[in-house]
Chain A
């Protein structure tokens, strides 16, 4: 029930295309859903986060879509660039465990020129 399932495990997208990464969860108590971006050999960094009171959040080329009834959320990267090539992790948490996150398995994104 504490798991967050992420797919796909790897993704190859052409420059300018849309990258889509999906996550699903079971615990309905989760109410905070961040996405982290990790470049090779580095620590992850927060990219964008959403709470379930909204269905979508956009920051530049990055958008989170959230479907509360389906218990799913996804990251969309518009106009994907080679510099976006990285591993992306979704995560989930609750207000009472605000700093303790449950991470998905990660998606390795490669954007080809």
Chain B
């Protein structure tokens, strides 16, 4: 089955620790995205990548970092600089980011809690 997988489903972090959230897709999509979801605030874009070895900041990139070394993988690191990291994190992918109307496909999400 083609799709997007995120791991882990639940993640607990102590203050001051960096954690990395995994996102893998086998849809052969060029573009990948990371969103943060908080109650009542919708989905806010953290980072997105249109192609391997390239990525751009979204609206709330501070305290986060990403890499795109392989087309199918787009891990997100939540650093200790992120002041309020407790949230539901969603990874998505689409065929590309420009030149057509592209559906975004979402993974099942990772719920991060800071203890």
B86-109 contacts to A (CB < 8 Å): 90, 92, 94-109
A32 contacts partner chain B, Cβ-Cβ < 8 Å: yes
Q: Are B42 and A89 in contact (CB under 8 A)?
A: yes
B40 contacts partner chain A, Cβ-Cβ < 8 Å: yes
Q: Are B98 and A6 in contact (CB under 8 A)?
A: no
- A28–B104 Cα distance when bound, in Å, is 22
Tell me the smallest distance from the CB of B13 to a CB of chain A, in Å: 19
A43 contacts partner chain B, Cβ-Cβ < 8 Å: yes
Q: By CB atoms of chain B within 10 A, which of A42, A49, A98 has the most?
A: A98
Question: In the complex, which range does the number of interface residues on chain A fall in?
Answer: 20 to 34
**Binary contact readout A70-95 vs B (1 if CB under 8 angstroms, 0 otherwise):** 00000000000000000001000101
Per DSSP, chain B at the interface is loop
- A32–B98 Cα distance when bound, in Å, is 12
Number of interface residues of B (CB under 8 A): 28
Tell me the smallest distance from the CB of A90 to a CB of chain B, in Å: 9
Q: Are B40 and A96 in contact (CB under 8 A)?
A: no
Instruction: Identify A9's interface contact among B4, B40, B108, B109, CB under 8 A.
Output: B40
B31 contacts partner chain A, Cβ-Cβ < 8 Å: yes
Contacts of B90 in A (CB 8 A): 43-44
Segment among A12-20, A57-65, A103-111 that sits at the interface with chain B: A103-111
B48 contacts partner chain A, Cβ-Cβ < 8 Å: yes
A100 contacts partner chain B, Cβ-Cβ < 8 Å: yes
Contacts of A11 in B (CB 8 A): none
- A9–B94 Cα distance when bound, in Å, is 27
Q: Are B98 and A96 in contact (CB under 8 A)?
A: yes
**Binary contact readout B48-63 vs A (1 if CB under 8 angstroms, 0 otherwise):** 1000000000000000
Contacts of B41 in A (CB 8 A): 105-106
Instruction: List residues of chain B with CB under 8 Å of any chain A CB.
Output: 4, 31, 33, 40-45, 48, 90, 92, 94-109
Instruction: List residues of chain A with CB under 8 Å of any chain B CB.
Output: 6, 9, 32, 34, 36, 41-46, 49, 51, 89, 93, 95-101, 103-106
